[in-house]
Amino acid sequence: MSRPNLNQPPSGDAPDPRFPIPHSPTPTACQRNPRLFDFANGDRTHDRAATEKRLEHARKACSRCPIATDCLQWALVNKPLTRLGIFAATTPGQRTELRKRLADRLGPDWIDVLAEQDQTRRARAAAARNHPLTVSQTRVVRLDRDVNGPMPTHRLLTPAQQQRNLTRLAASLKTAS
């Protein structure tokens, strides 16, 4: 049996191997009370007040979850597996809207862009663990932070993102003229 290529997106209803399902060292609310997170689009039709109350309870539980961000990313990337249910305090309709916004912002290959960003972030973290700063470098960083404040948290664009943005800008300039 051949091993799947982890650098390629999955086919069908298999989860994307580039985005592992998030795990927590302690049981999460969705593991302790899975019925709270059962939700289908048709659930809003019968008792709307009860549905809204259940959604609010699920959202509160998700807001305290340590893996909510990873859960949302996993749910967005694995659409066939998350057609129903609450994931990271989002309903299926909200996730569809978020996917559209991601496609508008990052392009139709937004999943590949997220995978590339995630891989880059993991590589940087591994490099930082393997090559920690020296004592003098740490002092310089601390002094710089004390004088200039924290570093901005914006992320640099990858070359692929830069090229895509340039292409979009050129296309919009053509339509504007």
Note the pLDDT of residue 56: 87
Q: Count of CB atoms within 10 A of residue 115's CB?
A: 19
Note the pLDDT of residue 4: 34
Note the pLDDT of residue 44: 59
Look at residue 115 and tell me if it is in a domain.
yes
DSSP states along the chain: -PPP-TTS---TTSPPTTSPPP--SS--HHHH-GGGG---GGGGSS-HHHHHHHHHHHHHHHHT-TTHHHHHHHHHH-GGG-SSS-BTTB-HHHHHHHHHHHHHHH-TTHHHHHHHHHHHHHHHHHHHHHSPPPHHHHHHHHHHHHHH-SPP-PPPPPHHHHHHHHHHHHHHHHHH-
**Domain span at 77:** 29-151
Look at residue 21 and tell me if it is in a domain.
no
Look at residue 8 and tell me if it is in a domain.
no
Look at residue 33 and tell me if it is in a domain.
yes
pLDDT in tens, the chain (177 residues): 222 333 444 455 788 899 888 888 888 888 888 888 887 755 555 677 887 888 888 888 888 888 999 999 999 999 988 888 889 988 888 999 999 999 999 999 999 999 999 999 989 889 888 888 889 998 998 998 898 888 776 667 778 888 888 888 888 788 776
Report how far residue 141's alpha carbon sits from residue 148's, in angstroms, rounded to the nearest whole number: 10
- Give the chain's domain count: 1
- Report yes or no: 136 and 88 within 8 Å, Cβ to Cβ: no
Look at residue 23 and tell me if it is in a domain.
no
Look at residue 18 and tell me if it is in a domain.
no
Report how far residue 123's alpha carbon sits from residue 113's, in angstroms, rounded to the nearest whole number: 15
The model's pTM: 0.64
Q: 75-86 burial, b if ≥16 CB within 10 A, otherwise e?
A: bbbbeebbeebb
